[in-house]
Amino acid sequence: MNLVLILIFIFILLILLFIYYIIYLIRTRHSMKYHIRYLLTQTCKALNNANVEYWIDFGSLLGIYRENDIIEGDNDGDICIIGENKEKMKKVKEELNKLNIKLYREKTWDAYCCKYKYFHNSSIHGFIDIYINKINKENDTYIGATGVNSNISKKFIKNTKKYKWNGIYINVPEDINGTLIWRYGEDYMIPKPGFKGRDS
């Protein structure tokens, strides 16, 4: 009789753990968008305050323009800057540090990264990549940080423009439509889960 009760108890416990896991997955999926939205907003505020020349790009630009939000299933935010901007990025780092957000320079590629200070070894709450672009004056192109597919003509970015999102003004390419067509094709307004555009 005791064995039957123990088995019933274990069975009920397993069911409860399974239900908890499903709830956890649902909440994590929604909280990921929340955290990326928060990290992206605070990073843009800090970049604005430090007068860093930047623009939102890649999946973040696509989501903000198409859905006014982070794309479902995305795990990061995407920002581009021109050059390292070491002095200005120190100010950005100081401002984000007050919000318990860690900004650090990637060691293996041309980018900065922003994560929650206490979760900087994990991507569970998302993160922000700040890609360091260089300028190719010969063909008027920004050389991206992630290889040839991240390069883009300056004619799309131009001088950037302000775009209101999530209660603040962020910098976006002057030609958003042209940028998104270049990155994702003419039909970029149609959601394609998992599609990475030129990086696919």
Average pLDDT, the chain: 90
When divided into structural domains, the chain yields a total of 1
User: 133 falls in which pLDDT band (50, 70, 90)?
Assistant: very high
CB–CB of 116/127 below 8 Å?
no
- CATH number for the domain that contains residue 172: 3.30.460
Angle at 129 between CA 127 and CA 134, to 5 degrees: 175
**Could you tell me the residue range of the domain that residue 146 belongs to?**
2-199
Assigned token pair, 141 = 């192109």
User: pLDDT tens digits for 10-61?
Assistant: 888 898 888 876 666 555 556 889 999 999 999 999 999 999 999 999 999 9
With a pLDDT cut of 70, the percent of the chain lying above it is 90
Q: pLDDT value at position 81?
A: 97
User: Residue 8 has what pLDDT?
Assistant: 82
For 86, 94, 150, 154, 183, the CA distances from 141, given in Å and listed in that order, are: 22, 31, 11, 5, 14
Collapsed DSSP state (helix, strand, coil) of residue 141: strand
Given a contact cutoff of 8 angstroms between Cβ atoms, the answer to whether 138 and 130 are in contact is no
> Residues 70, 72, 76, 81: is their CA dihedral positive or negative?
negative
pLDDT of residue 164: 97
Kindly report, residue by residue over 140-184, the tens digit of the pLDDT. 999 999 889 899 999 999 999 999 999 999 999 999 999 999 999
Q: What is the CA radius of gyration of the chain?
A: 21
**What is the pLDDT at residue 52?**
97
Predicted TM-score (pTM) of the model is 0.83
Q: Are 39 and 128 in contact (CB under 8 A)?
A: yes
Report the relative pairing of strands 168-172 and 161-165 from DSSP bridges.
antiparallel
Please report the pLDDT score of residue 28 as a whole number. 53
Query: What pLDDT is recorded for position 29?
Result: 53
pLDDT exceeds cutoff 70 at 1: no
Phi, psi of 104 (to 5 degrees): -145, 155
DSSP summary character for residue 197? G
What's residue 160's pLDDT?
Answer: 95
Confidence band for 95, pLDDT divided at 50, 70 and 90: very high
- In the chain, the percentage of residues whose pLDDT exceeds 90 is 66
| pLDDT score for 115 | 94
